[in-house]
Structures are given as structure tokens and as C-alpha cells.
DNA sequence: CATGAATGAGCTTTCATTCAT
DNA sequence: AATGAATGAAAGCTCATTCAT
């Protein structure tokens, strides 16, 4: 049946964006972030975004090719934050100081998750439908897991027993962190921030360096 | 991609289903499970399901009110499995025997996840758009977390130090397990089953009972 | 800017069309022919077609992928008629009998043009935008021109002087015929059928065989 | 592809255009000519024109009310050339000298067509959607046909047999010329200029004055 | 029970045109 | 004069759902 050559879509010709345009673009990005949170990625309509941004429907297409495109812009920003967070994991040490470092880091992760959760979740949804996001997701996960695995291995070299396979444990720990934040911050679980951070930091610490010496 | 939750209209008032009808219904359910896996829940069209099931488009509406309805049927079945799994957690003990029980249990969870992953993921997606699934999800998570928290508390009563808040740790552990299986079995991570089970069981064990005594 | 992979369009899966469906399909084809005539190809909206056909908007997409697809269906049919017409040119002879054959043939061409003009014109418009139609157009023109050129060459072999280059003259004659019919039957020029046919047949005859012997 | 004739709104009330403005206007006209050639009239977007002209999008509306308006400006210029060409037909005589005059004239027509083809084709497309162009087209065709018919009639008065109805033959000849040039120069047919001109001039000559006396 | 044709709401995207700067 | 951001009216197309057979 229908197979007549379809003209290539007019690829939006790299419009140069002025100051006013940039402001509108940011408004749209923030609105999208917002709507992704409220309705989820697949249920989000371009119209929801423009309504929230207070622009016309058409304005959206001045700055983005489509829904995926906005998500991509947001996701890249988020990925950068994530990379930075992952890098901060490098210096964690054994001992009480290390535990405190870890605790602080988990706190920062939680903050970041809270800010970026709409994007993360949209992203996860989109992974199923678009391989580009899948790829980006793998990269970020890999970055995290690599840092953690490295830390575990350092512990092992230092003579600490480790109950687990570093690469696998690393992904498990990230999974835990990410998913817990999801249940807590997105789905709205009844947890207290301090307790959460203590609990997660403790589990991480033991997985990284073994039993903690407590008073 | 119109997938906003649309209220089911005339829920087929208690149609009595004969033997042939039951077979068709099952074909549709299995097809749906399959398609949810391949395309994700929101991207799944009724047509994809009927095509895969080899029935007519119309047949679908003889057995289900809509897409959510199929998912619900599948989800209830999955939830039952999950409840059963959660119950099996009850008896876990301290010591090497307990570790082995835990290990076996994690193995069973992995098996169950593999079988039910299409439903679980569809479900997670749907939670965002339909409060029914949100509720069901909370219940299952609660069931798991409750059992685990209980186990941790038993350990505490038995004089084991516990570095963490039981209810929070419980959710964290379930999060880890669920998410890891997702990255591994759905997204396709490069992990080896034995290593995964060992690693996860070890982390769980330590979170439940503290440092394991190893040879 | 926007370049995230766009999912391949769901190619309409070779639906099997029943009797009722076939009737609808024909209604849509005839309606399209009609609207192409009234508004021209580019100005034609799918909605115009469905309105004229008395079907819903959606029905259109059950049978055609898009506007081009309908035109293609019509164009293929038209091309077949044209090929048949072209073949009939083969036997034309020198002399009064040949002139009468030619006259009759021009008459049949005019009839065919009248029936197919909406398609022809849509087609010509579409050639500019879609290479598939361009190709088809070349083929039909080539078929006609080939037959005519052959006839001219036969005349030359028979010792008739020919003032012209056969291949070029052939295209010129077809151009004349097609375009005249356009001005006359589509644009609505004030010509009388008999006169037109006589005139055109006469010009053709002379181009094919040289001066006609008249009483 | 919204191209339904939209009535021009505020036709820029007689703006006085300075020198710089005039240059911009000309740039836009030439760009439009160019784009009409490349993409066809209906597929042409105002944006294509301004991009090619190197002006801002808004500048277009400083000089033209809309797409039709540009075409009209170009078409009027083209029509003037055509009128001039038509007038040159007047003096054609019988005999070899006349044939040579005709030959030269066809050559000039071809030159003119080549230059004006984008406009001619845009125009033909627009005729279907806008009666202004239809009218202009009729006038030009009428002008040509009138001159030719007149020439044929002069031949008849001079005692030449003519196989055809002058008015009808006139339109047929113009049709041939126009359409051939289209297939050749726009669509890109494999013809050689000399041969084309000879062939067409020959057919015209015979239709005008009957069989040519050849050496 | 099963079928598949028909419907139409809903979403995406494009572009001519206006307007503030 | 020129610019380019914004607007919104059309289209285009998809798909859940209904219904006649």
C-alpha cells in the first residue's frame, strides 16, 4: 500500500536564538520539566507544556523539534550533573571520615534527584521507546558504577574483606539509591530525610568497606 | 500516541465466558504481556495485541474494557506471585543457613522477575497515569517491606547491631532488587546470574543481620 | 537541533479488504478524482475527499497512507489506459484510411483525457514534488513517443519525406495533444469537438506522413 | 501544505520604496523565481524565499502581501515578454524566408521559456487556485493564438490550402510549443536544441502554410 | 462468538502573517 | 527599513472504541 517517497522533514535550520528567544526556550524547558513530573512523559502533550509556559503552541516548535527533543535537552543537563556527582565518589575513604563523606554525598544525590526526578523518570520511560535515551542512560549508569566499583576494589586492595563482586555490587547500590528516591520523592513514600540518608549511607558503607566500627 | 487514562465506558457487564472464549482471553493476555515487553506499555496499541494474539480487533473488547483492564488482569496475577514471594521471606534466620535461604530466595525472585517483568514495567509506567496501579504498587511494596522490616527487627531483638532504620532499609533493599533486575533483565546488562545472586544476597544479609561470619 | 530518532511510521500492515471495504475504497478513489479536478492536487485536503465520499476522516487512512497514495492508485489505472491507447497507434497507415484511423484515435484520446484529466493534472502537479510520479510520467510519455516515432520512421522508410526528427516530433505531437486537451477540457476553452479532432488529426497526419492528398 | 488562496489582508498601501528597498524587493523577486523552479509553486514557503534572498522573514511582507503577490509581479513581467513575442509573429511570410523567420522565432521563444519557465509553471499551478492567474493566462494564450490564427488566415486568403480550423490550430500549436519546452527544459528531456527548433518550426510551418517546398 | 469496517476525538506539526523592537 | 519572535489556523495522522453483519 502506501509507500510513495515521503519528503524529508524540513529540518529546523539551526535558527540563531536571540535573548528573548532564549528566555522563551528556558520557559519551555522548565514547563516541560514540570509537566513531565505531573503527568509522566508519555502522557505529556506539547500543549500541556506550552500552556504551562504561557506561550503559543507554535512557539514550541520554534525551539524544539518535538517532545523527545525537549527531553533530550533536559537529559543532557541532568546527565552532566550526574557525571559530576559520580566523580565526587572517587575520594571516599575507609573509616568514620569516609562514612561522613558518604553520608554527605548521599545527601547531595538526594538533592539532585529531587531536582532532576522529572527528567530522570521521563528519561527512563523514553528509554523504552528511543534508543538514544537508552544509550545515555547506560553511560550515566556506567559512570556511577565504575566509580563505585573502583572504590570497592580499593577497599579490597587495602585488605578489607568484600562480600561481593565489585561491578555487580556497584550497579546494585546505584539501583537502590535511584529506586529508593523514586519511591520516596516521586511516588511519595513516608520517609524522613535524615533516616533515609543514614540508612542508605550505612548500607553503602558496608557494601564498600565491610562492617563499620561503631562506638 | 494518545494514552491519557480514558475512563472505561461500558465495562462488559459480567459476560459469561465459555471454553472457547476463555482460550481467546488467555491468548490475548499472553499477547499483551509479550507486547508490553517489546514496546512498553504506553506504546502498546490494542491492535498490536490482537495481531499478536491472532484475533480480530473487535475480539479484544469482548474480554477487556481497554488496555488498562488487560494490564490489571496481568498485574493482579503478578501481585499474587509477589505476595507469595514476600511471605517466603518470613522464616529467614541468622547464620549460614539463613544466608543460604536468602540466596535461594533471591534466585526465586529473579526467576519471578524474569517472568513478570513485562507486567512489572507496564505497571510502573501505568502508575503514573492511573491511581489504581499506584495503589496496587504500594500494597505490594508494603508487603515486601513489611516482611523485611520484620526480619530486621527480629535480628535487632536478638541482639544484633543494625546500622539502619528497619522500614527504610526494607524499602531500600526491595528497591535495589527490583531495579537491579530491571537493568539486568529488561535493559540487558552484562551480569552473570550466580554472581548477581551472591552479591545481592550478601548485601541483603548484611543489612538484615550485620557482618556475616565467613570461613 | 531536533534529531532524536523518530520511530518508523507504522506501515499499514497490508490489511485484507473485504467486499464492503472495497466499496468504500472505490468511493474514496472516485471522490479523490473529483476533488483533484475541482481544487487541484495541492489544494486538495484529505477532508475534502472524505466529505465528498461521505465517509469519516479516519476511513481514508484505512485504505490509503496519504494523498500521494490515492493519486498513485489513480495514476496507475490511468497509465494503463494510456499504454493501451499508445498501443493502438501502432497500426496507423498512410492514406485516407490512415487519416480516418488517426481521427478515430484522437477521438478516443480526447474521451480518455476527459475521463482522466483530474488524474493527469494532479499527476503533473505531483511530479514536481515526488519523483515517483516523475518516473511514471516519463514512462508514459516515452511509450507514446516511441510508438509515434516508430510510425514516422515507417513513413520515412516508405519513401515519404519527413520534415522532422522522429523522436522529437513524437514528443511534440503528444505535447500538443495533451496540452490542447488541458486548455480545452480543463480550463474550458471554446472549441467544438469535431473541429478539434479534425484539426489535430490533420496536424498529426502531416507530421507523420507529410501532406495529405485531399479531394 | 496549506496553500488555499487566502485573501491578502492589508495590502501594503502604496509604500514608497527607496533605493535600498528597491534592491531588497528585487532580491526577493529573483529568489522567488529561483525557489519556484526548485520546489514548485505550491511547495514554496515564504521562508524559502527569504532565506534564499538573504533577508529576514519579516522583510517579505514589507514588499509583498503574500506568495501570490510575488508571483503576480513576476507573471506580469513574463506576460509582457510573451506579448512582445506574440507580436513578432505577425510578419511571418510564406516561403523559405518565412520558414527562416519562424525558425528564428521559435528559437527566441525557447530562450524566453528557459528564462521564464519558473514563472510559467508557478503560474499554471496557481491558475487552479486563483482566478486572477487564470485570467492572465487566458489573455496571453489568446494573444498568441490570435496572431497565429491571423497568419493562418492570411495564408488561406493567399490561396493556400489549410487542413485545419485557424483558431483551433493556433491553440494547438501554442500548446505544442509550450508543453514541449516544459518536458524538455523543466523536466529535462534528452533533446538537442537545433533539432528541436527545426522540428517544431517545420510542424508549425506546415500547419500555417501547408507543405514546404524543399530542395 | 467473531469479525473488521467505521468513527471521531485528540495530538502533532507546519507556515502564513502580524508585531514589538 | 529590517528583524525575528510569536501567534494560531489548518492540516495531517493515529488509534481507542463502537457496531453492523
Instruction: Give all domains of chain C, ordered by start, each with its CATH number.
Output: 13-64 (1.10.10.60), 66-209 (1.10.357.10)
Mean predicted confidence (pLDDT) in C85-100: 89
* Of the listed ranges A62-71, A139-148, C86-95, D169-178, the one predicted with least confidence: C86-95
Chain B residues touching A127 at Cβ < 8 A: 187
CA distance C96 to chain D (A): 14
Residue D112 CA: distances (Å) to CA of A213, B121, D29, D144, D182: 95, 68, 18, 14, 12
The pLDDT assigned to C163 comes to: 66
Q: Do residues D105 and D92 touch, judged by C-beta distance below 8 A?
A: yes
Segment (H or E) for C109? helix C96-127
Segment (H or E) for A121? helix A96-127
* Of the listed ranges A140-144, C197-201, D108-112, D131-135, the one predicted with least confidence: D131-135
Chains that touch A (3 or more CB pairs under 8 A): B, C
Residue A42 CA: distances (Å) to CA of A35, A37, A56, D172: 11, 11, 21, 60
Question: pLDDT band at residue C2, thresholds of 50, 70 and 90?
Answer: very low
Per-residue pLDDT tens digits for B82-139? 999 999 988 888 888 999 999 999 999 999 999 999 999 899 888 877 888 988 999 9
DSSP secondary structure of chain B: ---S-----S--TT----HHHHHHHHHHHHHHHHHHHHH-TTT--HHHHHHHHT--HHHHHHH-SSHHHHHHHHHHHHHHHHHHHHHHTTT--SSHHHHHHHHHHHHHHHHHHHHHHHHHHHHHHHHTT-HHHHHHHHHHHHHHHHHHHHHHHHHHHTT----S-HHHHHHHHHHHHHHHHIIIIITT----HHHHHHHHHHHHHHHHHSS----
The pLDDT assigned to B10 comes to: 40
Question: pLDDT band at residue D180, thresholds of 50, 70 and 90?
Answer: very high
Q: Does D38 touch chain C (CB under 8 A)?
A: no
Mean predicted confidence (pLDDT) in C179-201: 94
* Of the listed ranges B130-134, C1-5, C99-103, D107-111, the one predicted with least confidence: C1-5
The pLDDT assigned to B164 comes to: 75
Contacts of A190 (CB under 8 A, 6+ apart): none
Contact A65 C3 (CB under 8 A): yes
Nine cell digits for residue D23:
534592491
- Residues 36-55 of chain A in contact with strand F via CB under 7 angstroms: 55
Q: Does C168 touch chain D (CB under 8 A)?
A: yes
Smallest CA–C1' distance to E19, residue: D58
C1'-nearest nucleotide to the CA of D66: E16
The pLDDT assigned to B215 comes to: 41
Contact B3 A42 (CB under 8 A): yes
Q: Do residues D203 and C211 touch, judged by C-beta distance below 8 A?
A: no
Q: Which chain F positions come under 7 Å from a protein C-beta?
A: 1-20
Chain C residues touching A15 at Cβ < 8 A: 1
The pLDDT assigned to C154 comes to: 84
Q: Which chain E positions come under 7 Å from a protein C-beta?
A: 1-20
The pLDDT assigned to C68 comes to: 93
| Residue A42 CA distance to nucleotide F18 C1' (Å) | 26
Q: Do residues B94 and B158 touch, judged by C-beta distance below 8 A?
A: yes
The yes-or-no verdict on residue C6 having pLDDT over 60 is no
Per-residue pLDDT tens digits for D35-92? 999 888 988 999 999 999 999 999 999 999 999 999 999 999 999 999 999 999 888 8
The pLDDT assigned to A177 comes to: 96
The yes-or-no verdict on residue B53 having pLDDT over 80 is yes
The yes-or-no verdict on residue B6 having pLDDT over 60 is no
Give the residue on B whose Cα is nearest the Cα of A171.
Answer: B180
Per-residue pLDDT tens digits for A35-69? 998 888 988 999 999 999 999 999 999 999 999 99
The pLDDT assigned to C191 comes to: 96
Q: Which is it for the CA torsion D117, D119, D121, D124, positive or negative?
A: negative
Nearest to A179 among B176, B196, B199 (CB): B176
The pLDDT assigned to A8 comes to: 28
The pLDDT assigned to D163 comes to: 65
The yes-or-no verdict on residue B5 having pLDDT over 60 is no
Q: Do residues C1 and A64 touch, judged by C-beta distance below 8 A?
A: yes
* Of the listed ranges C70-74, C148-152, D13-17, the one predicted with least confidence: D13-17
* Cα(A137)–Cα(A119) distance, integer angstroms: 12
The pLDDT assigned to C14 comes to: 62
Q: What is the mean pLDDT of chain B?
A: 86
The pLDDT assigned to D15 comes to: 62
**Residue ranges of chain A with pLDDT lower than 70?**
1-15, 161, 163, 211-215
Per-residue pLDDT tens digits for C114-125? 999 999 989 988
Q: Does A138 touch chain B (CB under 8 A)?
A: yes
Neighbours of D118 (CB within 10 A): 22
| Residue C79 CA distance to nucleotide E4 C1' (Å) | 32
Contacts of D189 (CB under 8 A, 6+ apart): C171, D183
Per-residue pLDDT tens digits for B171-215? 999 999 999 999 999 888 999 999 999 999 999 998 888 766 554
Amino acid at each position: 500500500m502506501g509507500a510513495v517517497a515521503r519528503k524529508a522533514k524540513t529540518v529546523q535550520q539551526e535558527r540563531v536564538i536571540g535573548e528573548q528567544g532564549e528566555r522563551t526556550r528556558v520557559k519551555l524547558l522548565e514547563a516541560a520539566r514540570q509537566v513531565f513530573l505531573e503527568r509522566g512523559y508519555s502522557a505529556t502533550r506539547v500543549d500541556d507544556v506550552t500552556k504551562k509556559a504561557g506561550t503559543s503552541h507554535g512557539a514550541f516548535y520554534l525551539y524544539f523539534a518535538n517532545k523527545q527533543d525537549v527531553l533530550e535537552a533536559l537529559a543532557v543537563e541532568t546527565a552532566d550533573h550526574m557525571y559530576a556527582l559520580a566523580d565526587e565518589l572517587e575520594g571516599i575513604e575507609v573509616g568514620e571520615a569516609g562514612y561522613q563523606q558518604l553520608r554527605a554525598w548521599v545527601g547531595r544525590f538526594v538533592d539532585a534527584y529531587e531536582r532532576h526526578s522529572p527528567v530522570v523518570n521521563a528519561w527512563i520511560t523514553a528509554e523504552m521507546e528511543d534508543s538514544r535515551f537508552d544509550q545515555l542512560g547506560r553511560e550515566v549508569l556506567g559512570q556511577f558504577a565504575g566509580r563505585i566499583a573502583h572504590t570497592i576494589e580499593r577497599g579490597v586492595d587495602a585488605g578489607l574483606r568484600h562480600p561481593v563482586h565489585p561491578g555487580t555490587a556497584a550497579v546494585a547500590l546505584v539501583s537502590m539509591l535511584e529506586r529508593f528516591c523514586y519511591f520516596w520523592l516521586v511516588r511519595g513514600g513516608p520517609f524522613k530525610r535524615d533516616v533515609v540518608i543514614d540508612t542508605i549511607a550505612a548500607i553503602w558503607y558496608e557494601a564498600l568497606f565491610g562492617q563499620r566500627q561503631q562506638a
